[in-house]
Amino acid sequence: MTVAEAPASVALHRRLGLTDAELESINERLGRAPNDLELAMFSVMWSEHCSYKSSKRLLRTLPTAGSDVLAGPGENAGVVSIGDGLAVAFKIESHNHPSAVEPYQGAATGVGGILRDIVAMGARPVALLDALKFGWPDDRRTRGLVDGVVRGVGGYGNCVGVPTVGGELLFDPTYTGNPLVNVMCVGVVASGGIAHAIAPTPGSLAVLFGSPTGRDGIGGASVLASASFVEGSAAMRPSVQIGDPFAGKLLIEVTLELVENGLVEGMQDLGAAGITCATSEVADRGGTGIRLDLDAVPLREPDMQPFEIMISESQERMLAIVRPERLDEVLAVCRRWALPAVVVGEITGDGDVVVVGGGTEIARIPARALASDVPEQLHQSAPPTRRRLAPAPGETPLAHDGLPERGMDPGAVLEALLGHPNVGSRAWVTTQYDQTVGTDTIEGCEHAAAVLRIKGSRRALVIATDSQPAVAQYDPALGAQMAVAECARNLAVTGARPLGLTNCLNFGDPNVPEAYWQLTESIRGLSEAAMALGIPVTGGNVSLYNESPLGRIAPTAQIGMVGLLDDIDTLVRPQFRNEGDIIVLLGETGPGMGGSAYERLAGAAPDDRPPSLDLVREAALHTVLRRAAAERLLGSAQDVSAGGVAVAVAESAIWSGLGADLLLEVSISPAASLFGESPGRAIVSLAPEHWSSLARLCASHRLAARRLGAVGGNRLRIGLVGVGATGAAEERGAGVADELDVALDELKRAWTQALPRVLGVRA
């Protein structure tokens, strides 16, 4: 609700989204009552989006330490050293509610915002990834959202010349009223040249450069991202920011030139809460204050009110903290790129953010009170009354686990899975993204991880983003752990070791005990998995209030990870390489079809559950994959995730054009063996002469390794053997296949057509 729309009888602080208790805290910190402008500044800074007041306490439990971490949470982005004097900056952020209201601009400014976070660290952006979640695309509104969001991501990323090299696309009914647009950006910076969002020295100048300030995005963060959707959210459209990628491109070049030439003391991007946030954060971090001259701020409209200028979220703006003797050089750089730049304030030593308008002081607030001394909110946490947990280790699987596959042709199930938009090709989306600008892209959006070489070295960055909302619906902690495990596995199959983890936590209204419990559990799971796999959490973003009249979204911890491959020649790709190579399944198959793509397609037994995750075994798998890659044993490696072993093998086959002939042992049920998604597994192929080395390596890490068959032909054949297979075969009716046997062309067609079919577009 905007200020204008609320009845005037409601007190101003409530209309701005502040509680009575928060007003009291403000009075305490000021030693007096705030004026209206000050109240507006508090309202945006103390919004959920800017202050993390509901999640901060939980986020402190995440493991953030790592020997290579140069900047962790609290900075604009995490930074991790990759050696040779270079470092990577990376972060993932949400732009969910703006995208729901205005998909093109919401998504575009989501890209612009995360780019500025990376650039503000002094890093040149080298990669973007987009993780998108929508409702089932059988209604026109959702199709319109998909189209607008994809165009928006491409519209911004393509124009600024940063390749979009990966991402995720999931459809689930829980996102119908509240789609998710999470964008990750990765940049490269000289370790000695990292910029910080800080104003360390009184007497320095605050230079605002980039686009002029307008009325777009007034209170975007506090209005849109800090409350649930109610009916008539179209009225929120004025709160959506408008992107200008051309200005964004100029802003990137100017910012990097200023940082690289050592012309600035501090650099802060303007995002949520605009000038208020940028000025108070740099002053708070520096232990200084700032005196801001509102009349100096370039405006798009002449008659803007002071509060509008202070909280506007107009895009493509940056704040540089500059020593006076460097000012001329700074302004010259901006002039060369035709980007407006003006001195809007001076750094002081008194700790206050002081706003001057028309020559008089119109606001004075301690920077700390705005930026870091925000009262945290406590919430009640309660699990749902009925839960289905993953089976404990050693627990006997349910007798009827995997019931639904009886009487089904496994080949038809595989085709249906590959043709599911959550499993099949994303090409309709990703052909709209420039994936190769920058001439570093070795692997783009086609597979589970992106690979970018680092020019002038043998090394490469490997980047992935994953989530497991369907599992998290059952068990939020397990869902978060599985997302971390899958993301790390996607790096490990290439041979890369993970450097750090960023996360975007998308959840519901924290005032609802079950939603807050989901958040709490997810952070616990994330923390445990990151710790077990030894991956530092370097930053992230929390997006709450993801609810609509249609309900709350599935708990969605979106994980982003950057890994390093020391020698690009050892890169292992997911497609089969040579006819005659043997195919090996690494890891153990466990019971549980809950949360799987198969469950979505065929349903599951009423009390079936998600598979369990053993983080020690998961870590062992990753170690084996990395060692095997470094020793050049592998022809291909592909993680087993959505759609299970059958889909993993099918993808390796589709991407290579080489078929495969396998025998799969069934210990639980045919469905679990073929389509189950128990974690900690990978499908690798290798030359037969390397098998003994791989088997030894696996044995030394107590990792199961089973030869399944060989690469070759133009069909995918998977025969089933073992006790479970016989049992199921008895119950299959006449004429039903007892093995999976499909032509590669058919699988490829199903996989290619997955998205065009449901969206009703041409491939």
Active site residues: 49, 95
Which lies closer to other proteins via its Cβ, residue 318 or residue 604? Answer: 318
Which lies closer to other proteins via its Cβ, residue 158 or residue 178? Answer: 158
Q: Is 432 in the site for other proteins (CB under 8 A)?
A: yes
Instruction: Return the residue of 102, 130, 244, 739 that touches other proteins, per CB under 8 A.
Output: 244
Instruction: Return the residue of 360, 385, 439, 692 that touches other proteins, per CB under 8 A.
Output: 439
Instruction: Return the residue of 190, 442, 663, 687 that touches other proteins, per CB under 8 A.
Output: 442
Selected range binding other proteins among 148-156, 264-272, 367-375, 621-629, rule: CB under 8 A = 148-156
Q: Which residue has the tokens 């393509």?
A: 158
Give strand pairing partners of 81: 87
Selected range binding other proteins among 87-95, 191-199, 429-437, 585-593, rule: CB under 8 A = 429-437
Q: How far apart are CA 555 and CA 678, in angstroms?
A: 19
Give strand pairing partners of 685: 583, 636
Q: Which residue has the tokens 């009075």?
A: 27
Are 740 and 410 spatial neighbours (Cβ–Cβ below 8 Å)?
yes
Instruction: Return the residue of 78, 110, 245, 357 that touches other proteins, per CB under 8 A.
Output: 245
Q: How far apart are CA 220 and CA 98, in angstroms?
A: 8
Q: Six-digit token pair at 316?
A: 């493509």
Least distance in Å: CB of 217 to other proteins?
Answer: 20
Instruction: Return the residue of 141, 300, 455, 696 that touches other proteins, per CB under 8 A.
Output: 455
Q: Is 558 in the site for other proteins (CB under 8 A)?
A: no
Coil vs helix vs strand at 731: helix
Instruction: Return the residue of 174, 435, 527, 673 that touches other proteins, per CB under 8 A.
Output: 435
334-to-230, 258, 299, 345, 604 alpha-carbon distances in Å: 43, 9, 17, 17, 60
Selected range binding other proteins among 340-348, 438-446, 547-555, 671-679, rule: CB under 8 A = 438-446
Using CB under 8 A, which residues numbered 716 to 735 contact other proteins?
A: none
Q: Is 759 in the site for other proteins (CB under 8 A)?
A: no
Which lies closer to other proteins via its Cβ, residue 441 or residue 612? Answer: 441
- Which of 134, 102, 130 has the alpha carbon at shortest distance from 114? 130
Instruction: Return the residue of 93, 172, 316, 434 that touches other proteins, per CB under 8 A.
Output: 434
Selected range binding other proteins among 291-299, 335-343, 692-700, 737-745, rule: CB under 8 A = 335-343
Q: Is 249 in the site for other proteins (CB under 8 A)?
A: yes
* Total interface residues for other proteins by CB under 8 A: 33
Instruction: Return the residue of 12, 327, 331, 568 that touches other proteins, per CB under 8 A.
Output: 568
Determine how many CB atoms are found less than 10 A away from the CB of residue 361. Answer: 11
Selected range binding other proteins among 51-59, 333-341, 612-620, 643-651, rule: CB under 8 A = 333-341
Q: Six-digit token pair at 536?
A: 């530092």
Q: Is 453 in the site for other proteins (CB under 8 A)?
A: yes
- Which of 88, 39, 506, 111 has the alpha carbon at shortest distance from 271? 111
335-to-210, 213, 338 alpha-carbon distances in Å: 11, 18, 5
Least distance in Å: CB of 137 to other proteins?
Answer: 17
Determine how many CB atoms are found less than 10 A away from the CB of residue 44. Answer: 29
Q: How far is CA 100 from the centre of its chain?
A: 17
Selected range binding other proteins among 42-50, 267-275, 427-435, 677-685, rule: CB under 8 A = 427-435
- Which of 650, 640, 590, 593 has the alpha carbon at shortest distance from 470? 593
Are 270 and 42 spatial neighbours (Cβ–Cβ below 8 Å)?
no
Instruction: Return the residue of 305, 436, 700, 726 that touches other proteins, per CB under 8 A.
Output: 436
Which lies closer to other proteins via its Cβ, residue 329 or residue 738? Answer: 329
Least distance in Å: CB of 452 to other proteins?
Answer: 10
Least distance in Å: CB of 439 to other proteins?
Answer: 5
What letter would DSSP give residue 222? I
Are 707 and 684 spatial neighbours (Cβ–Cβ below 8 Å)?
no
Site string for other proteins, 152-191 (x = CB under 8 A): --xx--xxxx------------------------------
Least distance in Å: CB of 433 to other proteins?
Answer: 6
Three-class SS string for 41-57? HHHHHCCHHHHCCCCHH
Q: Is 338 in the site for other proteins (CB under 8 A)?
A: yes
Which lies closer to other proteins via its Cβ, residue 164 or residue 228? Answer: 164
Which lies closer to other proteins via its Cβ, residue 253 or residue 588? Answer: 253
Which lies closer to other proteins via its Cβ, residue 1 or residue 331? Answer: 331
DSSP letter for each residue of 376-400: PPP------SS--PPPPTTPPPPTT
Selected range binding other proteins among 82-90, 104-112, 113-121, 434-442, rule: CB under 8 A = 434-442
Are 90 and 560 spatial neighbours (Cβ–Cβ below 8 Å)?
yes
Using CB under 8 A, which residues numbered 281 to 310 contact other proteins?
A: none
Are 506 and 553 spatial neighbours (Cβ–Cβ below 8 Å)?
yes
**Exposed (0-12), middle (13-18) or buried (19+): which is 477, by Cβ within 10 Å?**
buried
Least distance in Å: CB of 248 to other proteins?
Answer: 10
Q: Which residue intervals of 367-512 are DSSP H helices?
A: 367-371, 410-418, 427-430, 469-474, 476-492
Q: Is 151 in the site for other proteins (CB under 8 A)?
A: yes
Q: How far apart are CA 480 and CA 556, in angstroms?
A: 8
Instruction: Return the residue of 261, 431, 700, 714 that touches other proteins, per CB under 8 A.
Output: 431
Q: Is 437 in the site for other proteins (CB under 8 A)?
A: yes
**Binding stretches for other proteins (CB under 8 A):** 151, 154-155, 158-161, 244-247, 249-250, 336-338, 430-442, 453, 455, 568, 762
